[in-house]
């Protein structure tokens, strides 16, 4: 996994609440057996005016000029800003893969849905929860100046706006450590293989029916 | 000893170890797999040269992409076909129990698990699907995970988790005739909102929850995720044990007796602490219909669509305005004035035998309205289909002009060929009314099976209580 330490980038403002994972990446693209290549279909239903299917040449599709992703002023933004309950709905990690494949490294919102939040950390995408006031401040700044840069410092747990306003965010220490070091969860867990075996031995005594093989 | 909630008990029994910051390594007893969220996980294992920790805990089934018209083997879409074939190849390579298309046990993963007895009280159960909360109906700690976590469970039999908070939703009293578990959970979501349970495990309790069958309890826990809660739980009781006894993967003989004894201790202690509590009177719940593009946009069938301007909060008002525009509806309209083009009875929320019986009871002696283009019934598994046919339900549906299909996820998320065309409006027994969920531009109204059947016969929403 790619490390995340600091990032200074433009912000793309998506002024919607309850952005669900069906909207982030529609179902027809979930048929892929790959992890890459979802970027062109990020927010597909909102971004294009015509319906799309896997395998289409997306450069030939009609863009929705009213959708923020197609606004040239925000091109190259690596931070997505949204309203409450971002990433609600299905558990599809494809939603995170679409965001990172497109180029986002951070999503800022007042709240996130649990599964999306957890999936983000596994892919080097940093979800940042900020209070409404802070979110509104960054929205206002971005609307006034689409070129405005925001700096994210994971070590310090801060978001700094172009105007120099600093907002602190919470993150659990273990997730922070993994992101800062680009660590793979599975490798970390397997260091505790003996603990897992010891748990299994004890559990087998207490609940032997959980260890009767499935046929 | 401190009093514990049911969630606390399930959690404590599965902690292998804690990190310094309180992140736990949680042991997973059962892992359900389907074709959409597993291929990248198996590929990850292969790339890292890792083997599964305990394949005997895994059960796999294709469901999302499966056609509902026979012959099911012939998936026309080559991309979908590859995904289903990839699952078959992966389970065969790693030696995982598998119910392929054509096997009567095949069906929606959250229907198959309980039906086979793969879901048991006291377990931790995960699946790469948000509706894994369904299995909490058995007193299991069950929640949906992403693909990286699917790989993590395959490789280590564990997950890194933070403990959630405890929320209690107590539904007392008795549900009225014609009011179902679906109406109960939609009414709850309407009250607490789609983020109301975020960060919490919700325990559903109270007289009205106890009175539900296992099918009804699964419907309620299934939609806990639509209230933002990764897990919904109901304490196991005699109803649970009676449902499970004799199922193929449930313990037998002396092990069964030992298990039931342990399961009887799975309840929240009387003075256990909940971070949030909500009390609802079942008698106050009417049949529900969603009108917008989020499950929290829901109303009793006799209500009128709200005016966004009356919603106060700007973010909410904007969302409501956008929803009405997408749904092609206007403020002030009565719910029963909304005409439908299609009806879908199925999904992991409402495709079990009891759901099909409830819909058939309404359909019997009636006909699909002429203006309703399609009314489809998709049983949750091959076994449910067989049982429904043995009871003659398929005949009732067919005679009324409904289509009787093969099992799968179908038009809940339209990954297979079943979908809405742009602008089409559907009465659906599924769980999500998001924009484009049932097909790009499609408009979804979530309802109970009886309400969907009634709308299909009337051509618009009606109060099913007037028909029974």
A45-94 tens-digit pLDDT:
999 999 999 989 999 999 999 999 999 999 999 999 999 999 999 999 99
Contacts of B184 (CB under 8 A, 6+ apart): B171, B175, B208, B220, B282, B285
Give per-residue pLDDT as tens, B348-403. 999 999 999 999 999 999 999 999 999 999 999 999 999 999 999 999 999 999 99
Q: What does the block give as tokens for B351?
A: 């495709």
Considering only the beta carbons, identify the residue of A175, A193, A214 that sits closest to B59.
Answer: A214
**Higher pLDDT, residue A214 or B436:** B436
- Which residue of chain A has the CA closest to B316? A17
A71 touches chain B (CB under 8 A): no
A173 touches chain B (CB under 8 A): yes
Alpha helices, H only, B193-313: 207-210, 214-222, 238-244, 253-263
Which residues of chain B register pLDDT less than 70? Answer: 1
Q: Residues 109..138 of A with a Cβ closer than 8 Å to B: which?
A: 111, 113-115, 118-119, 122-123
> Which chain B positions have a beta carbon within 8 Å of A22's beta carbon?
413, 432, 434-437
Q: Exposed, middle or buried: residue B216 (CB in 10 Å: 0-12, 13-18, 19+)? A: buried
Pairing of strands A166-168, B15-18: unpaired
> Which chain A positions have a beta carbon within 8 Å of B19's beta carbon?
174
- Which residue of chain A has the CA closest to B262? A207
Distance CA A95, CA A42 (A): 8
Count how many pairs of residues, chain A against chain B, have C-beta atoms within 8 Å: 201
What is the torsion angle, in degrees rounded to the nearest 10, for the CA atoms of residue B3, residue B227, residue A42 and residue A158? -50
Distance CA B105, CA B166 (A): 35
C-alpha distance from A111 to closest chain B C-alpha (Å): 9
Do A196 and B156 make contact, defined as CB atoms within 8 angstroms?
yes
Considering only the beta carbons, identify the residue of A83, A174, A189 that sits closest to B156.
Answer: A189
- Which residue of chain B has the CA closest to A117? B146
Do A92 and B123 make contact, defined as CB atoms within 8 angstroms?
no
Give per-residue pLDDT as tens, A28-51. 999 999 999 999 999 999 999 999
Q: Determine the residue among A27, A203, A212 to mutate to test chain B binding: the one whose Cβ has the most chain B Cβ atoms within 10 Å.
A: A27
Contacts of A27 (CB under 8 A, 6+ apart): B413, B414, B415, B437
A202 touches chain B (CB under 8 A): no
Apex B45 CA angle, B39 and B47, nearest 5: 100
User: Is B129 strand, coil or helix?
Assistant: coil
> Which chain B positions have a beta carbon within 8 Å of A188's beta carbon?
160
Distance CA B244, CA B78 (A): 38
Alpha helices, H only, B37-77: 39-48
User: Is B408 strand, coil or helix?
Assistant: coil
Distance CA B79, CA A54 (A): 8
> Which chain B positions have a beta carbon within 8 Å of A99's beta carbon?
none
Q: Exposed, middle or buried: residue B157 (CB in 10 Å: 0-12, 13-18, 19+)? A: buried
A61 touches chain B (CB under 8 A): no
Radius of gyration of chain A (CA): 20
CB B68 within 8 A of CB B418: yes
C-alpha distance from A60 to closest chain B C-alpha (Å): 19
> Which chain A positions have a beta carbon within 8 Å of B440's beta carbon?
26, 45, 51
Do A113 and B160 make contact, defined as CB atoms within 8 angstroms?
no
Distance CA A45, CA B113 (A): 33
**Higher pLDDT, residue A2 or A203:** A203
Confidence band of A214 (pLDDT split at 50, 70, 90): very low
Distance CA B441, CA B296 (A): 20
Q: What does the block give as tokens for B377?
A: 């019934």
Pairing of strands B288-290, B298-300: antiparallel
Considering only the beta carbons, identify the residue of B43, B128, B316 that sits closest to A91.
Answer: B128
Do B415 and A33 make contact, defined as CB atoms within 8 angstroms?
no
Summarize the confidence of residues A6-26 as an average pLDDT.
Answer: 97
Do B145 and A91 make contact, defined as CB atoms within 8 angstroms?
yes
CA atoms within 13 A on the CB side of B457: 23
C-alpha distance from B466 to closest chain A C-alpha (Å): 33
> Which chain A positions have a beta carbon within 8 Å of B83's beta carbon?
31-33
A156 touches chain B (CB under 8 A): no
Do B315 and A20 make contact, defined as CB atoms within 8 angstroms?
no
A34 touches chain B (CB under 8 A): yes
C-alpha distance from A115 to closest chain B C-alpha (Å): 6
Distance CA B319, CA B335 (A): 19
Do B148 and A123 make contact, defined as CB atoms within 8 angstroms?
yes
CA atoms within 13 A on the CB side of B316: 13
pLDDT at position A213, please? Answer: 63
DSSP strands (E only) in B145-205: 158-161, 165-172, 200-205
Distance CA B370, CA A91 (A): 38
Considering only the beta carbons, identify the residue of A89, A173, A185 that sits closest to B21.
Answer: A173
Torsion sign across C-alpha atoms B247, B250, B252, B256: negative
Q: What does the block give as tokens for A171?
A: 């993150």
C-alpha distance from A119 to closest chain B C-alpha (Å): 6
Do B27 and A185 make contact, defined as CB atoms within 8 angstroms?
no
> Which chain B positions have a beta carbon within 8 Å of A195's beta carbon?
16-17, 25
Summarize the confidence of residues A9-15 as an average pLDDT.
Answer: 98
> Which chain B positions have a beta carbon within 8 Å of A33's beta carbon?
39-40, 43, 82-83, 86
Domains in chain A: ranges and CATH: 6-183 (3.20.19.10)
Domains in chain B: ranges and CATH: 6-162+237-257 (3.30.499.10), 165-236+268-284 (3.40.1060.10), 288-466 (3.30.499.10)
Summarize the confidence of residues A155-171 as an average pLDDT.
Answer: 97
Distance CA A68, CA A66 (A): 6
pLDDT at position B206, please? Answer: 98
Do B195 and A90 make contact, defined as CB atoms within 8 angstroms?
no
CB B455 within 8 A of CB B165: no
Do B97 and A215 make contact, defined as CB atoms within 8 angstroms?
yes
ipTM of the complex: 0.95
> Which chain B positions have a beta carbon within 8 Å of A15's beta carbon?
318
> Which chain A positions have a beta carbon within 8 Å of B414's beta carbon?
27
């Amino acid at each position: 996994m790619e490390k995340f330490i600091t990032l200074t980038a433009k912000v793309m403002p998506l002024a919607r609440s309850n952005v669900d994972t069906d909207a982030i990446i529609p179902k027809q693209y979930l048929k892929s057996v790959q992890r890459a290549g979802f970027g062109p279909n990020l927010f597909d239903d909102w971004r294009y005016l015509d319906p799309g299917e896997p395998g289409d040449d997306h450069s030939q599709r009609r863009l929705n000029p009213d959708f923020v992703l197609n606004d040239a002023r925000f091109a190259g933004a690596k931070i997505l800003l949204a309203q409450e309950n971002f990433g609600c709905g299905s558990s599809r990690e494809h939603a995170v893969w679409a965001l990172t494949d497109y180029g986002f490294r951070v999503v800022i919102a007042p709240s996130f849905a649990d599964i999306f939040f957890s999936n983000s950390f596994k892919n080097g995408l940093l979800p940042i929860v900020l209070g409404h006031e802070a979110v509104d401040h960054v929205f206002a700044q971005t609307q006034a100046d689409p070129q405005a840069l925001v700096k994210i410092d994971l070590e310090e747990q801060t978001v700094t706006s172009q105007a120099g306003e600093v907002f602190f965010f919470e993150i659990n220490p273990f997730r922070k450590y993994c992101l800062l070091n680009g660590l793979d969860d599975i490798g970390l867990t397997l260091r505790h293989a003996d603990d897992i075996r010891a748990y299994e031995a004890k559990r087998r005594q207490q609940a032997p029916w959980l260890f009767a093989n499935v046929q | 000893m401190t009093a514990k909630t049911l969630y606390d008990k399930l959690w404590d029994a599965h902690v292998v170890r804690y990190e310094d910051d309180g992140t736990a390594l949680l042991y997973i007893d059962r892992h359900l797999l389907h074709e959409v969220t597993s291929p990248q996980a198996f590929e990850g294992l292969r790339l890292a040269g890792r083997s599964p920790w305990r394949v005997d805990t895994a059960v796999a089934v294709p469901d999302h992409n499966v056609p509902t018209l026979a012959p099911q083997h012939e998936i026309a879409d080559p991309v979908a076909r590859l995904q289903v074939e990839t699952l078959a190849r992966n389970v065969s390579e790693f030696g995982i129990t598998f119910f392929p298309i054509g096997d009567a046990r095949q069906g929606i993963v959250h229907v198959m698990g309980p039906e086979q007895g793969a879901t048991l009280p006291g377990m931790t159960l995960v699946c790469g699907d948000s509706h894994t909360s369904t299995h909490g109906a058995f007193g299991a700690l069950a929640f949906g995970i992403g693909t990286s976590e699917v790989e993590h469970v395959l490789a280590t039999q564990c997950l890194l988790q933070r403990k959630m908070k405890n929320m209690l939703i107590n539904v007392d009293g008795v549900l009225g005739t014609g009011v179902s578990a679906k109406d109960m959970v939609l009414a709850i979501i309407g009250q607490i909102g789609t983020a109301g349970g975020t960060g919490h495990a919700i325990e559903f309790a109270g007289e009205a929850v106890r009175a539900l069958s296992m099918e009804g309890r699964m419907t309620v826990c299934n939609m806990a995720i639509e209230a933002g809660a990764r897990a919904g739980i109901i304490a196991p009781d005699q109803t649970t044990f009676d449902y499970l006894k004799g199922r193929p993967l449930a313990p037998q003989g002396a092990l069964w007796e030992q298990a039931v004894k342990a399961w009887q201790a799975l309840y929240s202690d009387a003075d256990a602490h909940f971070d949030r509590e909500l009390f609802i009177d079942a008698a106050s719940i009417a049949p529900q219909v969603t009108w917008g593009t989020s499950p929290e946009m829901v109303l009793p069938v006799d209500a009128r669509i709200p005016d966004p301007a009356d919603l106060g909060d700007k973010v909410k008002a904007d969302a409501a305005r956008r929803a009405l525009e997408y749904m092609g509806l206007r403020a002030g309209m009565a719910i029963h004035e909304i005409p439908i083009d299609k009806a879908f009875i199925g999904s992991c929320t409402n495709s079990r035998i009891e759901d099909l019986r409830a819909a058939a009871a309404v359909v019997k002696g009636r006909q699909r309205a002429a203006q309703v283009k399609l009314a489809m019934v998709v049983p949750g598994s091959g076994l449910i289909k067989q049982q429904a046919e043995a009871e003659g339900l398929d005949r009732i549906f067919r005679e009324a002009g409904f289509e009787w299909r093969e099992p799968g996820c179908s038009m809940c998320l339209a990954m297979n060929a079943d979908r809405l065309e742009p602008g089409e409006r559907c009465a659906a027994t599924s769980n999500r009314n998001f924009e484009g969920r049932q097909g790009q531009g499609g408009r979804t109204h979530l309802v109970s099976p009886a309400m969907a059947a009634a709308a299909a016969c009337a051509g618009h929403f009606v109060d099913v209580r007037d028909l029974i």
